[in-house]
Amino acid sequence: MLYRKADISDLSAVSELIASAVEEMERNDIHQWDSIYPADTDLRADIESGTMTVGIKDDDIVVIYVINKIFDEQYRNGNLQYPDSDFRVIHRLCVAPKYQHKGIAKKTLTHIEDELRRNSIDTVRLDVFTKNPFALSLYRSNGYTEVGTAHWRKGSFLLMEKHL
Protein backbone atom coordinates (compact mmCIF):
# COMPACT_ATOMS: atom_id res chain seq x y z
CA MET A 1 0.00 0.00 0.00
CA LEU A 2 1.20 3.52 -0.77
CA TYR A 3 0.61 6.20 1.84
CA ARG A 4 0.72 9.88 0.94
CA LYS A 5 -0.55 13.21 2.19
CA ALA A 6 -4.09 13.89 1.03
CA ASP A 7 -4.52 16.57 -1.61
CA ILE A 8 -7.58 18.77 -2.07
CA SER A 9 -8.30 16.80 -5.26
CA ASP A 10 -8.91 13.79 -2.97
CA LEU A 11 -11.75 15.49 -1.08
CA SER A 12 -14.55 13.95 -3.12
CA ALA A 13 -13.16 10.42 -2.80
CA VAL A 14 -12.49 10.91 0.92
CA SER A 15 -16.04 12.20 1.45
CA GLU A 16 -17.42 9.15 -0.38
CA LEU A 17 -15.26 6.84 1.73
CA ILE A 18 -16.58 8.44 4.92
CA ALA A 19 -20.20 8.30 3.70
CA SER A 20 -19.89 4.60 2.85
CA ALA A 21 -18.24 3.94 6.22
CA VAL A 22 -21.10 5.71 8.03
CA GLU A 23 -23.60 3.51 6.17
CA GLU A 24 -21.62 0.39 7.10
CA MET A 25 -21.40 1.42 10.75
CA GLU A 26 -25.14 2.05 10.81
CA ARG A 27 -25.74 -1.45 9.36
CA ASN A 28 -23.66 -2.79 12.26
CA ASP A 29 -25.58 -0.73 14.82
CA ILE A 30 -22.56 1.52 15.44
CA HIS A 31 -23.92 5.06 15.66
CA GLN A 32 -20.60 6.83 15.90
CA TRP A 33 -20.53 9.15 12.87
CA ASP A 34 -23.25 10.89 10.91
CA SER A 35 -23.88 13.85 8.61
CA ILE A 36 -22.74 16.25 11.35
CA TYR A 37 -19.39 14.61 12.07
CA PRO A 38 -17.15 14.19 10.28
CA ALA A 39 -18.43 16.83 7.87
CA ASP A 40 -16.83 17.80 4.58
CA THR A 41 -15.60 20.97 6.29
CA ASP A 42 -13.67 18.80 8.79
CA LEU A 43 -12.17 16.73 5.98
CA ARG A 44 -11.26 19.82 3.96
CA ALA A 45 -9.57 21.35 7.02
CA ASP A 46 -7.61 18.11 7.58
CA ILE A 47 -6.40 18.15 3.97
CA GLU A 48 -5.59 21.85 3.92
CA SER A 49 -3.65 21.61 7.19
CA GLY A 50 -1.58 18.74 5.78
CA THR A 51 -2.59 16.36 8.58
CA MET A 52 -4.60 13.83 6.55
CA THR A 53 -2.93 10.83 4.95
CA VAL A 54 -4.53 8.51 2.44
CA GLY A 55 -3.62 4.89 1.77
CA ILE A 56 -3.82 3.84 -1.88
CA LYS A 57 -4.33 0.30 -3.14
CA ASP A 58 -5.35 -0.69 -6.65
CA ASP A 59 -5.68 3.03 -7.51
CA ASP A 60 -8.34 3.47 -4.79
CA ILE A 61 -8.17 5.41 -1.57
CA VAL A 62 -8.80 2.56 0.84
CA VAL A 63 -7.91 4.17 4.17
CA ILE A 64 -7.56 7.64 5.63
CA TYR A 65 -6.28 8.99 8.90
CA VAL A 66 -5.33 12.26 10.52
CA ILE A 67 -2.37 12.80 12.84
CA ASN A 68 -1.83 16.00 14.78
CA LYS A 69 -1.44 17.37 18.31
CA ILE A 70 -5.05 18.57 18.56
CA PHE A 71 -7.16 17.05 21.31
CA ASP A 72 -10.41 17.82 23.06
CA GLU A 73 -10.31 19.30 26.54
CA GLN A 74 -11.75 16.03 27.90
CA TYR A 75 -8.40 14.35 27.24
CA ARG A 76 -7.15 16.28 30.27
CA ASN A 77 -9.53 14.18 32.40
CA GLY A 78 -7.65 11.03 31.43
CA ASN A 79 -5.02 9.39 33.58
CA LEU A 80 -2.30 9.70 30.94
CA GLN A 81 0.64 7.43 31.62
CA TYR A 82 3.07 9.65 29.69
CA PRO A 83 1.77 13.17 30.28
CA ASP A 84 5.04 14.91 29.47
CA SER A 85 5.95 12.94 26.36
CA ASP A 86 6.02 14.24 22.81
CA PHE A 87 2.73 12.86 21.47
CA ARG A 88 0.45 12.80 18.47
CA VAL A 89 -3.27 12.06 18.29
CA ILE A 90 -4.88 9.77 15.72
CA HIS A 91 -8.19 11.03 14.37
CA ARG A 92 -10.63 9.60 11.84
CA LEU A 93 -8.79 6.38 11.00
CA CYS A 94 -11.23 4.87 8.51
CA VAL A 95 -11.05 1.97 6.07
CA ALA A 96 -13.37 1.87 3.05
CA PRO A 97 -16.02 -0.82 3.70
CA LYS A 98 -15.10 -2.95 0.69
CA TYR A 99 -11.56 -3.25 2.10
CA GLN A 100 -12.51 -3.88 5.73
CA HIS A 101 -11.61 -7.12 7.55
CA LYS A 102 -8.49 -7.55 5.39
CA GLY A 103 -5.89 -6.27 7.85
CA ILE A 104 -5.65 -2.78 6.38
CA ALA A 105 -6.44 -0.99 9.64
CA LYS A 106 -3.74 -2.97 11.46
CA LYS A 107 -1.19 -2.35 8.68
CA THR A 108 -2.07 1.35 8.73
CA LEU A 109 -1.74 1.55 12.49
CA THR A 110 1.71 -0.07 12.22
CA HIS A 111 2.62 2.42 9.48
CA ILE A 112 1.51 5.34 11.68
CA GLU A 113 3.53 4.10 14.64
CA ASP A 114 6.63 3.50 12.49
CA GLU A 115 6.38 7.02 11.03
CA LEU A 116 6.03 8.54 14.49
CA ARG A 117 9.03 6.60 15.80
CA ARG A 118 11.11 7.82 12.83
CA ASN A 119 10.16 11.35 13.85
CA SER A 120 11.09 10.74 17.51
CA ILE A 121 7.50 10.95 18.73
CA ASP A 122 7.15 9.06 22.03
CA THR A 123 3.41 8.50 22.46
CA VAL A 124 0.21 8.01 20.48
CA ARG A 125 -3.20 8.99 21.84
CA LEU A 126 -6.71 8.55 20.50
CA ASP A 127 -10.31 8.15 21.48
CA VAL A 128 -12.51 5.25 20.45
CA PHE A 129 -16.28 4.89 20.57
CA THR A 130 -17.23 2.38 23.27
CA LYS A 131 -19.87 0.83 20.99
CA ASN A 132 -17.48 0.15 18.10
CA PRO A 133 -16.22 -3.40 18.76
CA PHE A 134 -14.02 -3.43 15.65
CA ALA A 135 -12.09 -0.30 16.64
CA LEU A 136 -11.87 -1.39 20.28
CA SER A 137 -10.39 -4.73 19.23
CA LEU A 138 -7.90 -3.07 16.86
CA TYR A 139 -6.48 -0.74 19.47
CA ARG A 140 -6.53 -3.17 22.38
CA SER A 141 -4.80 -5.90 20.37
CA ASN A 142 -2.12 -3.43 19.32
CA GLY A 143 -1.11 -2.39 22.81
CA TYR A 144 -3.20 0.72 23.41
CA THR A 145 -4.09 1.24 27.07
CA GLU A 146 -7.33 2.75 28.33
CA VAL A 147 -6.54 5.90 30.29
CA GLY A 148 -9.97 7.48 30.73
CA THR A 149 -13.33 8.25 29.19
CA ALA A 150 -14.89 11.15 27.40
CA HIS A 151 -18.52 11.90 26.63
CA TRP A 152 -19.53 13.60 23.43
CA ARG A 153 -22.69 13.99 21.41
CA LYS A 154 -22.78 10.34 20.30
CA GLY A 155 -21.98 8.79 23.70
CA SER A 156 -18.99 7.44 25.60
CA PHE A 157 -15.50 7.18 24.19
CA LEU A 158 -12.43 5.56 25.69
CA LEU A 159 -9.28 7.62 25.80
CA MET A 160 -6.34 5.43 24.86
CA GLU A 161 -2.58 5.83 24.83
CA LYS A 162 0.45 3.86 23.67
CA HIS A 163 4.08 4.60 24.39
CA LEU A 164 6.28 3.92 21.39
Q: Where are the domains of the chain?
A: 2-163
- For residue 46, how far is the Cα from the chain centroid? 12
DSSP symbol at 119: T
124: phi then psi, degrees, rounded to nearest 5: -115, 135
- Chain segment 53-74, per-residue pLDDT in tens: 999 999 999 999 999 999 988 8
- For residue 80, how far is the Cα from the chain centroid? 19
Three-class DSSP category at 155? strand
Query: What is this structure's pTM?
Result: 0.94
- Chain segment 71-94, per-residue pLDDT in tens: 988 888 889 999 999 999 999 999
- Chain segment 25-55, per-residue pLDDT in tens: 999 999 999 888 999 999 999 999 999 999 9
The H-assigned helical ranges of the chain are: 11-27, 40-48, 104-118, 133-141
Q: Which of 161, 150, 155, 30 is CA-nearest to residue 86?
A: 161
CATH number at 2-163 = 3.40.630.30
Instruction: List Cα–Cα distances, 33 to 61, 94, 98, in angstroms.
Output: 19, 11, 18
Question: Is the separation of the CB atoms in 82 and 123 below 8 Å?
Answer: yes
Count H helices and E strands in the chain, helices first. 4, 7
